[in-house]
Amino acid sequence: MSKIVLARIDDRLIHGQVMTAWLQYTDGNHIVIVDNGTAQDSFLQTVMKMSVPQGVKLDIFNETDGAQFLQAEHGQDNIIILAKTPEVYLDLIEAGVKLDEIIVGGMGANGQRKKFYKNISASPSERETFQKIIDHGTTMKVRIVPSDNATDVEGLLK
């Protein structure tokens, strides 16, 4: 039976930390990217596919198709979900995808985001989305790499 072993917010999606630390920590063997932009960009998809180690499956979906895929059974797969924003996860949850925990990883600063915790930034609307996700019963934690102590997002929102 397939299971979701990691749901992570990271604007870079696949990069060194995901490939080395999180794959090993979770025993993940199937990465599912849910991102509308990446799902429409064949060049970016090719780059992502080249970044995944041999033996690890990669699927890239828009939000609608991602929700459908994640609600289906996928054998013995240990699935790692990657998305760039918390809004994607709220949409997945509201579409019926069961997520016990979401890890907030790389959320870099931009014009709308301000420092949220250490090197993590979030806009006011993203903070509201964090709270909505928590209100759905999903735990959210900031944790850049598995060896870091996890920091509860709910406590940071107060």
pLDDT tens per residue across span 39-51:
999 999 999 999 9
Q: What one-letter code names the amino acid at 155?
A: G
Average pLDDT over residues 27-50: 96
Distance CA 35, CA 64 (A): 10
Question: Taking 90 as the threshold, does the pLDDT of residue 19 lie above it?
Answer: no
Distance CA 36, CA 21 (A): 26
Distance CA 89, CA 97 (A): 9
Dihedral over Cα of 12, 77, 41, 24: its sign: positive
For 101-144, what is each residue's pLDDT tens digit? 999 999 999 999 999 999 999 999 999 999 999 999 999 999 99
8 A C-beta contact, residue 102 and residue 28: no
Q: Does the predicted model carry a pTM greater than 0.75?
A: yes
The residues spanned by each domain of the chain are: 3-156
The pLDDT of residue 39: 98
Task: Give domain 3-156's CATH number out of 3.40.50.10140, 3.40.50.300, 3.40.35.10, 3.40.50.2300.
Answer: 3.40.35.10
- Contacts of 11-15 with CB under 8 Å at 24 or more apart are 11/84, 11/85, 11/106, 11/107, 11/108, 12/106, 13/38, 13/48, 13/82, 13/83, 13/84, 14/48, 14/51, 14/52, 14/82, 15/51, 15/106
Which stretch of DSSP H or E encloses residue 139?
A: strand 139-142
Q: Supply the DSSP symbol for 50.
A: H
